[in-house]
Structure formats: structure tokens, C-alpha cells
Amino acid sequence: MRQAAKDKCISLILLAVAMSAIASLAMIAAFIFREGLPIMMKVGVGKFLLSSDWYPQEGRFGIFPMIVGSLAVTAGAMVIGGTLSLACAILLTQFCPPKVVSILKPCIELLAGIPSVVYGFIGVVILVPAISRYLGGPGLSVLAASVVLGVMILPTVTSISVDALRAVPRSYREGAIALGATEWQTTHRVMLKAARSGIVAAMILGMGRAVGETMAVIMVAGNTLDLPHSILAPVRTLTSNIALEMGYAAGEHRRALFATGVTLFAIIMILNTIALTVSRRRARKAGQS
Amino acid sequence: MKRPSPAAMQRLAVSFMWLGTILTVGVLLFIVAYILTLGLPHVTWEFLSQGPRLMGREGGVFPMIVGTLWVAGLAVMIAAPVGVITAIYLTEYTLEGKLTAVIRFGADCLAGIPSIIFGLFGFVFFAITLGMGLSVLSGALTLAIMVLPTIIRTSEEAIRAVPRAYREAGYGLGATRWGVVTKVVLRSALPGIGTGVVLSIGRSISETAAVMLTAGSALRLPTSAFDSTRTLALHFYILAREGISMSKAYATASVLIVAILAINLFAYWVMQRFVAKVR
Amino acid sequence: MKWIIAAFLALAAAVVFVSIGAGWGGHRGKPVVCIGSTSVEPFAEMLAEEFQHKDPNLSIDVQGGGSTAGIQAILEGIADIGMCSRSLNPPEAAKLRGIPIALDGLAVVVNKSNPVTALTRDQVRAIFSGEVARWSEVGGADEPIDLITREEGSGTREAFMKLVMEAKVAPPAAAASQPSTASAPAAAPPPVVRISRKAMTQESNGAVKELVKHNRRAIGYMSLGLVHDELKIITVDGVHPTAEAVRSKQYPLMRPFLFVVRGTVRPAAQDFIDYVLTPEGQHVLEKEGLVGVR
């Protein structure tokens, strides 16, 4: 009887802790929405998202160039980082001798911990001047940000993709080989399709990280208010905008920054919903087969 | 034109992938090597034990090391127990349902939110509204709520991965729910939980945007939790950005990278040993 | 298993206890917190170092963020002193007191390899509004001009707007009736010419300096006292900016450095302000190229 009472006591403590944690997180989300939504409504959601006039001192809040900026550098990051990661992951799981894998994989994972400001700094010191000299423009550009972000997400996306590919049952591979396929044919016709939801999850995670990066982007992107007209043009992202202005923003301006936060929240929610639906569809298909 | 044979296609594909992999590993290693080569020569005992002079042009980074330990350490010490307990409660003490799915989705979203938004929240809520000002406490609390969703999710995944049979065996032997949780489930899930915690430690140490406006950027050694402080990552950013001293910047970055690599390696080693012991 | 948890909790409790306990029982006293202009910041830091040498019991924390951030910090109570590199505007002056500690020139800077050495104020305005887009139009190479600007909350930027981007340096009422003919699409209110949207924003003087130092097509503006001979300073309207030119009011682009406070000031903060205004404190500033206010 005492044991049951003790158990109940413990579960109540756990409940209290868990509830306060969840409540705090919910309150934070609520705070951000409470600060940001009213000004979005006041300016008009359409105008807020589609207007290119960001003049806080005049009360004009339009974040369209920043949205384009964030999307552009993220897309660039995925093109660079996503393809390299995938190449890496496929190689490590399908075509690499185990001894080499046991060195390379921990190598890549350890490098996941390098601070983003270091990437940004190397971008400024090496990449930006190179872009300016060989490709033109000021060097601070969509391209610079894309490359820096792409490299930054390599460790994360690679290791999750590796895990996804490793999770595919051996029988799939062996079956395909037994049918006479080469390893490469097996890979792109069987393994990749089987690991698709895990790889998509890895890509989504990478995208989220790219969208959310602030410091490295401030250092290499140029932070102009204009829409970028090419990948060599400077750009400002949503996160950079918040970081540059939050120190001195007050009143409506500060609330507009929270509204930018709400926009980012929405973007992340959309990305996560996509990941969720893809994995659910996968699970359903697997259940059927 | 004759269609290339499958064997030829494979050779082509594999060459591309080797290229990609070498590029990937190469770039990452280059970055580490570049920083360490330019920075380690300047990391002397004086550098590690003294405070900065002339805004960081001379002297060392001792206050920044302390500040980083304090802010990141406090953050993880708050977030790790709370996160793991929340994960335990969600998986072991509640039934799978709409509510847990919503909570899981919410935690996933919050885990993906850019850190600058937590910084904005922390600045407005902790520093201003609660009156803590720019301080270790503001910074630590902000980082804590930033890593909490990640810890909850990774712990939850690790706990859910424990096979049901383990639990059933425990209950079959007459253990209480809490007994099964601690002696069976947690022990099995510890590597996964550990990974999440180590990831959060790394993230807290590297975080710059969120600490800039919550912990501030004071150069002095913090003597209380209400003092402002500057973390190593922020110090590196400021030194590099303002061109104050490139050699000190590289040295600071070297300390940072070595510390993070050491933590990751240590965690890796502990996990290996722990997994071996459990087996 | 229990050991790990117990040890962890004990360690955590110890850290938290020591942290908060030290905070309340600290005999150092709360440090004087100065937040604000990145132009004033290095000088305030220098003064703080000197001041703390004299009285090690006092501690002073200096942080950047920009002039407006400093004013916000004062208003919201997280700073003792706000550092400002522009004059207070009427709503701010109504609530706060600005104590001038020095005068600083505003330098228009270009890369050392740029052949252009002198411009008129109208030319600078045309460049920064985007109307003049290539260096060849002002006597330089045939290359596009990369504009560098500061964030909106920057006192340096505010000073630049007032001193250069306004058609004529006149009281706001007069300026409204005389829009410059060299202006780009002038917005309805206010009558000041906007800096081009293509300008790249940097968040501190140091960042501007670094950028212009490494980009031969760049032009920017920053605190005169912080250039340290690493960039070429443009002669504006025939006057080359030096501390002397600023002091004799020959160089027109000049702004005050202020310590901004609200109401009654803590004794420790007041001591620091007093120190800055002593001959010794002013000498520290003048040695670095600022103009004192004695």
C-alpha cells in the first residue's frame, strides 16, 4: 500500500514538472503571438508580408524583401548543403568500406558543434573577397550566405540522412542485388525511396536551421533593404532584421519585430507539417505493404 | 548514342559522390584547421587566465570562459532535468492521444524556432519586464527555454525507442511504474537522452544572437548571477567584426572549438562505455 | 543510476545557490551599467578602465547597441547611463538629461586605394541617396559605389542624416519648404532625403570600418575618433576633418557625445560621470582624437 502511495506521489511530482514545462513553452508562444499579431492585423497581413517598405520610424512595416531574402538563402543553402549531404550519406552507407566510415562519420558529427559565428567569420575573410574579385558585386551576397549556410548544415543533414539510410532493412538491398542490380541502381531505385521520409526529415531540419541562422548571415549577406536582383546582390533576412533592430526598437517597432517572429514561426510550422505528413504517409504505406 | 552500362553509371555516380564527400569533409576540416592554426599559437596560459584589456586588444579571455560556463551551465542544468522529466511523463505516464500529438508538434516547432526569437523574448520578458537586466540569469533562462524543446523531443524519441518487452518484463517482475522507468527504461534510453543533452550544451555554448541581448557583453568577470557577462562566442564575434584584434579573435575561436570538440568527444566516449556496460 | 541523479541535483543546487547568493550578498555592489552608442563605447571603456584603476571597488560595465538602444535601456531601467552620439530629440529631452562629455567629428570614409579624396556635401548626399551610383561620376574609377550605412537606431546615422542628408542644415520647419534638387524620390514626410535602400547595413562603427577597409568600392560614415588612420577620410566642402577642425567648428559634420541619465543618479554612476568631466578624464578623450567639452 505504501509503495502505491509513493508511486502516486512521484507521478504527481512528475506531472507538476511536466505541466509547468509545457505551460511555460505554451506561454512563450502565446507571448510572441500576442505581441506580434495585433500589429500584423493593424498593418494588414497582406501589406505586412508583401510590402517592400520597411521604414519603422514612419510606421511602415513591410517585410517582403526579408521574406524573399530568407527564402533565397535557404534555397541556396539546400542546393549546396542538401546535395553534398546526400552524396555524403549515400557514399557512407552504400559504397564505403566500414573502416573508413568509422572515421568519417564521427568526424562529421563532431564538426556539428562548430559555432555559426566561426563559419560566418571564415565567410567574411575568405569567401566574400573571393566572390567580389572573381564574380563581381560587393561580395556580401545571397551566394555568400547560401554557401556559408550550406556548409553549416552539412553535419546535421548528413548524419540524419545516414541514420535514415541505415534504418532501411537489409533485405531490401540484398533483394535488389540478388535480382541483378548494381549497387548504384539499388541505391537510387530502392534505398533512397525506402529512406525517403528520414531523408526528407533531415532536409527539413536543415532548412529550419538555415532559415533560423542569424549571426553568420549578418556577417556575409550585406543587410540591404532592397530585393535582391541576383545571387550576387546583398540581401537581408528575417532573422537578421530582428537582430539588427531589437536593441533599440520600441513600441510599435518592437511589436513589428515580434510580428516578424510570428512569420518565422509560421514558416517553421509549415515545414514541420510537411515533414509530419510525409512521414505519416510513409508509415501508412509501410503498414499497408 | 549507346546507353551507358549500369556499371559505367555506377562508376560515374560513385566518383561524384566521392567528390562530394571529400568536399564536405575537406571544407569542414579546413575551417577547423584554419582557425586552430591561426589561433592556437596565441592561446597561452596568460590568455586563459587574464582578463581583457583595451577592449580585448590585449590580455585574455578568463571572464568570458567563466561567463560561458555560467550561462551555458546554468541553462542546461535547468533545462535537462525538466526536459527529461517532461519526456518521461509524456511517454510513460500518459496515453497516446490527440493531446500528446499536439504537444509533440508544438515541441518540434519550438525546437526549430530561430534562436533570435528566443533572444527577443528573453530580452523583453526576462531583462526588461522581470527587471533582471542584462545578466547571467537572463541569458541562462533564455537559453534554457531555447534548448528545452529539443531535450524534450530527443529524450522522448529515445524513451519511445526502448522495446516494450523491457517494460513488460519489469512490470512482470513486480516493479512499480517509477521503478520500471528508472531501472529499465532510462537506463536503456540514456545514450539517446545523453546525445540530446550534449547537443544542447553545444548549442548553448555556441549561441550568440540570443545571449547578445540577454546576457549583454560586459568585459568584466561576473561575480553574481545578476552581472552582465560576455560569452566566448560573442567575444569572438565582436573582436572579429570590429577588427579589434584578429589574433585574439582566432585565439578565442580556438578555445571555443577545442572546448566543443572536447565535450563532444567526452560525451561520445561516455556513451560508448555506458552502452558497453549495459550490454 | 541514483548516484548520477543525486550528484547532478546537488551540483545544480550548488550552482544556483552560489549564483543568487553571491548576487545579493556581493560586496562589490552593483556595477554601473552603461549602454548605448558604439561610437562612444570604446572611449567609455577606456575611461572605465582608468576609473577602475583608481577605485577598484567600483565596477563599470560598458556595452554597445547603438544610441537609441542606450536611450531605450535608460527608459526601461536596465542601464544607469545611456551613451549617445547625437543630441536628444524633444520627446527624449523631456524625460532625460543629456550630459555632453565630448565632441566628435563624423567622418566620411573610403578605402585607402580609392583615388577620390574630396567631395562636396551635395555630392555625398547624392551618393548616399543612390542618385550617383558610380565612382566615375565623382572623379573616381568606373566602378559601382558600394554604400555602407548604419542601422536606424544608430546615433552616428542620425547625425549623418541631420548633417548631410537634410537639404540644408536648418530648423525642421525651414527644411520642409526647401527640398533639395539633388534628392532622390523625396518622401512626403519627413523632408530629409532617404539613404538608398541598396545601402548595406552594419551594426557598429567597427563593422563599417572593417568593411570599407577591405572593399575598394565602398563608402561609409563613422566616428572620426575611431578611424585611426586605417581608412581614407574624405575632405568635405574643402575642410579636412581633424580634431582641430572639429574644435574650431570649421568642419561642419560634428556631433556631441552624451551621457544620458534619468532623474537622480546612483552615487557610483555620478562618480563616474564626474570623473569623465574632470581634466584628467577629458585628457583621456582628447588623447584619442576627440574634442573635449571643457
Q: Give the CATH number of the domain where residue A217 resides.
A: 1.10.3720.10
| CB-CB under 8 Å, B137 with C1 | no
pLDDT, residue A288, reads 52
Give the model's confidence band at B277: pLDDT under 50 very low, under 70 low, under 90 confident, else very high: low
Determine the angle formed by the axes of helices B62-92 and B187-206, rounding to 10 degrees.
140
**Closest chain C CA to residue B230:** C63
Distance in angstroms between the alpha carbons of the first and the last residue of chain A: 48
Of A150, A161, A221, which is closest to residue A187 (Cα–Cα)?
Answer: A161
Which CATH number describes the domain made up of C2-102+256-292?
3.40.190.10
pLDDT, residue C30, reads 80
What are the extents of the domains in chain B?
6-41, 43-278
pLDDT, residue C3, reads 57
What is the number of domains present in chain A? 1
Residues within 8 A of B (CB atoms), A 216-255 only:
219, 239, 242-243, 246-247, 254
What are the extents of the domains in chain C?
2-102+256-292, 105-168+190-254
pLDDT, residue C131, reads 92
In angstroms, the separation between the Cα of residue A134 and the nearest Cα of chain C is 14
Domain C105-168+190-254: CATH architecture, name and number where available: 3-Layer(aba) Sandwich (3.40)
Residue B97's Cβ-count burial label (10 Å; 0-12, 13-18, 19+) is exposed
Domain membership flag for residue A179: yes
pLDDT at residue C271 greater than cutoff 60: yes
| CB-CB under 8 Å, B55 with C20 | no
Domain membership flag for residue A93: yes
Output the nine-digit C-alpha cell for B66: 567563466
Domain membership flag for residue A4: no
C73-93 residue pLDDT tens: 999 989 999 999 999 999 999
CA C20 to chain centre: 34
pLDDT at residue C26 greater than cutoff 60: no
- B-C contacts at Cβ under 8 angstroms: 92
In angstroms, the separation between the Cα of residue C158 and the nearest Cα of chain A is 12
Residues within 8 A of C (CB atoms), A 231-270 only:
234, 236, 244-245, 247-250
Domain membership flag for residue A18: no
Which of B34, B82, B120 is best to mutate for the A interface (most A CBs within 10 A)?
Answer: B120
All partners of chain A with 3 or more CB pairs under 8 angstroms: B, C
In angstroms, the separation between the Cα of residue C85 and the nearest Cα of chain A is 14
| CB-CB under 8 Å, B120 with A261 | yes
Give the model's confidence band at C115: pLDDT under 50 very low, under 70 low, under 90 confident, else very high: very high
pLDDT, residue B99, reads 83
pLDDT at residue A229 greater than cutoff 60: yes
In angstroms, the separation between the Cα of residue C220 and the nearest Cα of chain B is 15
Over residues C55-84, mean pLDDT:
90
Lowest mean pLDDT among A126-140, B10-24, C169-183: C169-183
Domain B43-278: CATH architecture, name and number where available: Orthogonal Bundle (1.10)
Contact between C130 and C180 (Cβ < 8 Å) = no
Tell me the pLDDT of chain C averaged across its residues: 84
Which residue type is seen at B156?
E
Nearest to B113 among A112, A268, A276 (CB): A268
pLDDT at residue B107 greater than cutoff 90: no
Nearest to B86 among A11, A17, A247 (CB): A17
Angle at A128 between CA A124 and CA A129, to 5 degrees: 110
Tell me the pLDDT of chain B averaged across its residues: 88
pLDDT at residue B10 greater than cutoff 50: yes
Domain around A154:
32-288
Give the model's confidence band at B90: pLDDT under 50 very low, under 70 low, under 90 confident, else very high: confident
What ranges in C183-224 are assigned the alpha helix state H? Answer: 205-214
Which of B183, B220, B239, B277 is best to mutate for the C interface (most C CBs within 10 A)?
Answer: B220
pLDDT, residue A8, reads 84
Which of B88, B103, B116 is best to mutate for the A interface (most A CBs within 10 A)?
Answer: B116
B183-224 residue pLDDT tens: 888 888 888 888 888 888 988 999 999 999 899 999 988 888
Angle at B101 between CA B100 and CA B104, to 5 degrees: 85
Question: What ipTM was reported for this prediction?
Answer: 0.87
pLDDT, residue C7, reads 60
In angstroms, the separation between the Cα of residue C268 and the nearest Cα of chain A is 25
